[in-house]
Amino acid sequence: MSDTKRIAVIGAGFMGSMHASIFARLRGCELAAIVDPNTALATGVADKLGGAKVYASHDELLANERLDLISICTPDNLHLAPALAAAEKGVNLFIEKPIASSLDEARQIVDACRKAGTKLGIGYLLRFDPRYAHAKELIATGRTGAPIHLYARRNSARTEGPKRYAGKLPLALHVTVHDVDLALWMLEGQKPVTVYAQETDRLLGPIGTQDTIAAIVRFSDGTVVNFESAWSLPSGARHMIDARLEFIGTEGSFEIQCGDSGLYFADNERSQEIDTQHWPIVGGRVEGDLKRELEGVIDWLDGGNSPVATGEEAIASLELTLAMIRSAETDEVVRLS
Ligand SMILES: NC(=O)c1ccc[n+]([C@@H]2O[C@H](COP(=O)([O-])OP(=O)(O)OC[C@H]3O[C@@H](n4cnc5c(N)ncnc54)[C@H](O)[C@@H]3O)[C@@H](O)[C@H]2O)c1
């Protein structure tokens, strides 16, 4: 691998434009290309970042560029084709979460990368939020004792997620999967064994999505985990994302409060909470968890121990999240082997 890493981003939408903007500025990286069938969109992103090349398809990209890493930011059900093509060309991959929208596609991606001997990382950015990372260490170093109970909530306004993803992506696969990854990461070594979930679509059913999903999961060591996600809060809700994680262990507990970004703007029209956590823009640059995550991806490419989720871990979080959806749809307890 050359000293400067040549990176391409596939998908120039909401996440892809931020990945491109971060990679374009990361030391030791060159944003070589952006791919999107909407070439006007990709060109708009590239022009702002010093003129990376633009391609309409991953085939064109792979035929023309020598790359060290491809970041895939296409919709979930369109991760598979670029991932398989990149692996076949021997290019390392970083894919936005969830790895894919089905277990079959996820397994194909993991198998292809394993066969090609290429690296595969999945974008679970909350692992790069220092609060969650520190909390994981509290468990790993024994400060909390043995786990008893974990509770994870992630609630947001109906004017955000549903606007972009309704009809395309279930709430659980878009939102809950973040907390599922965190729970599996923190409870490392334990496996989920039973899942029961309920959901409702009273409000957002007409636009093709759920209002809320609540799940209770039992792990192999007996730990009980509650997940609660909603994207149906009114637009005037106090917090953009009301997220928290509470943990009880035999020797200690912790609580992570992510609801309050700590920055509020108000004028004569409205008041607004501004993101300071996931991808705040400071001085025209994307910062926060996403920037730390992509810096971590470069460290991981170089063999460092940044906690980038592996393909196998992403299969595990996808499997548990899909089991929640199945339980909610059938009103039955799902048993995972
Ligand atoms: N980590 C997070 O917190 C987070 C947040 C939002 C979205 N995501 C994930 O990021 C991914 C992208 O979501 P988004 O919100 O940016 O979607 P988006 O719709 O804003 O952007 C997707 C882009 O992919 C392009 N595209 C479609 N087919 C393509 C193809 N075959 N080749 C190249 N480009 C193609 C579309 O034209 C579009 O510009 C999804 O997997 C999503 O779940 C992650």
pLDDT in tens, 296-331: 999 999 999 999 999 999 999 999 999 999 999 999
Average pLDDT over residues 30-48: 97
Q: Is 14 in the pocket of ligand 1 (CB under 6 A)?
A: yes
Ligand 1 atom with the shortest distance to the CA of 74? 24
Task: Specify the CATH architecture of the domain 129-273+310-335.
Answer: 2-Layer Sandwich (3.30)
Location of each CATH 3.30.360.10 domain in the chain: 129-273+310-335
Which of ligand 1's atoms lies nearest the C-alpha of 15? 16
C-beta of 16 in contact with ligand 1 (< 6 A):
yes
CB atoms within 10 A of CB 251: 9
Based on its alpha-carbon atoms, the radius of gyration of the chain, rounded to whole angstroms, reads 20
- Segment 235-245 shows an average pLDDT of 93
pLDDT value for 315:
98
Quick one: pLDDT at residue 169? 83
pLDDT digits (tens, 9 = 90+) for 179-220: 999 999 999 999 999 999 999 999 999 999 999 999 999 999
Cα of 267 vs centre of ligand 1, distance in Å, is 33
The CB-side HSE value for 151 (13 A sphere, CA atoms) comes to 8
CA of 206 to the centre of ligand 1 (A): 23
User: Does 249 sit in the ligand 1 pocket, CB within 6 Å?
Assistant: no
The predicted pLDDT at position 200 comes to: 97
- Tell me, in angstroms, the distance from the centre of ligand 1 to residue 20's CA: 12
Q: Is 15 in the pocket of ligand 1 (CB under 6 A)?
A: yes
SS3 per residue for the chain = CCCCEEEEEECCCHHHHHHHHHHHHCCCEEEEEEECCCHHHHHHHHHHCCCCEEECCHHHHHHHCCCCEEEECCCHHHCHHHHHHHHHCCCEEEEECCCCCCHHHHHHHHHHHHHHCCCEEEECHHHHCHHHHHHHHHHHCCCCCCEEEEEEEEEEECCCHHHHHCCCCCHHHHHHHHHHHHHHHHCCCCCEEEEEEEEECCCCHHHCCCCEEEEEEEECCCCEEEEEEEEEECCCCCCCEEEEEEEEECCCEEEEECCCCCCEEECCCCEEECCCCCCCEECCEECHHHHHHHHHHHHHHCCCCCCCEEHHHHHHHHHHHHHHHHHHHHCCCEECC
Q: Are 257 and 240 in contact (CB under 8 A)?
A: no
Identify the residue whose tokens are 């926060």.
288
- Phi and psi of 133, rounded to 5°? -65, -40
Is pLDDT larger for residue 312 or for residue 164? 312
Please tell me if the CB atom of residue 56 comes closer than 6 angstroms to any atom of ligand 1: no
Q: Which residue from 10, 15, 231, 292 has its CB within 8 A of the most atoms of ligand 1, so it is best to mutate?
A: 15
Tokens representing 30 are 């060159």
Assess whether the C-beta atom of 97 lies below 6 angstroms from ligand 1: yes
Question: Which fold does the domain 5-123 belong to in CATH?
Answer: Rossmann fold (3.40.50)
Residue pointed to by tokens 């109970």: 149
Q: Is the pLDDT assigned to residue 1 strictly greater than 70?
A: no
Q: What is the pLDDT of residue 2?
A: 54
Question: Does residue 60 have its Cβ closer than 6 Å to ligand 1?
Answer: no
* pLDDT value of residue 91: 98
Are 60 and 32 in contact by the 8 Å Cβ rule? The answer is no
Q: At what angle do helices 177-186 and 130-140 cross, to 10 degrees?
A: 30
Q: Give mean pLDDT, residues 230-251.
A: 95
Full-model pTM:
0.97
Ranges for all domains in the chain classified under CATH 3.40.50.720:
5-123
pLDDT band at residue 222, thresholds of 50, 70 and 90?
Answer: very high
